[in-house]
């Protein structure tokens, strides 16, 4: 059985991403699905018991100091610049989400 990890903005929590509510039901027999939401709300959709919810990013607390530390650590790495050109390119509106994600997805 294949294992799929689905990173979502908030699904299975409300609001948004309602298309996933139907979508995930198609995969229950063929894959092992883990959903990792980045945000949560008090109200959660009903999802099948076979689907795992990993709350790692919801529970993770990122202080401003922590974000600045990992940003400064990242700019010393060549991979940072490769990702910057790939993810941001010439669209400067994408730079803020890119820089914000560094503090969230850093390697411990």
Q: How much is the average pLDDT of 14-37? A: 85
Structure token pair of residue 50 = 């076979």
Structure token pair of residue 25 = 């039901």
Q: How much is the average pLDDT of 69-79? A: 76
User: Using CA atoms, how far apart are residues 102 and 74, in angstroms rounded to an integer?
Assistant: 8
| Distances 17 to 45, 70, 75 between C-alpha atoms, Å | 11, 30, 33
Please count the residues of the chain: 108
Supply the pLDDT for residue 66: 65
Q: How much is the average pLDDT of 9-20? A: 88
Q: How much is the average pLDDT of 1-21? A: 86
- pLDDT band, residue 67 (cuts 50/70/90): low
Supply the pLDDT for residue 71: 73
Domain borders along the chain are 2-59, 64-104
């Amino acid at each position: 059985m294949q294992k799929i990890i689905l990173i979502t903005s908030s699904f299975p929590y409300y609001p948004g991403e309602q298309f996933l509510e139907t979508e995930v039901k198609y995969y229950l027999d063929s894959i092992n699905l883990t959903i990792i939401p980045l945000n949560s709300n008090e109200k959660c959709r009903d999802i099948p018991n076979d689907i795992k919810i990993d709350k790692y990013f919801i529970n993770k607390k990122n202080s401003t100091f922590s974000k600045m530390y990992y940003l400064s650590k990242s700019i010393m790495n060549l991979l940072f610049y490769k990702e910057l050109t790939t993810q941001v390119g010439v669209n400067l509106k994408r730079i803020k989400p890119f820089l914000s994600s560094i503090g969230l997805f850093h390697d411990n």
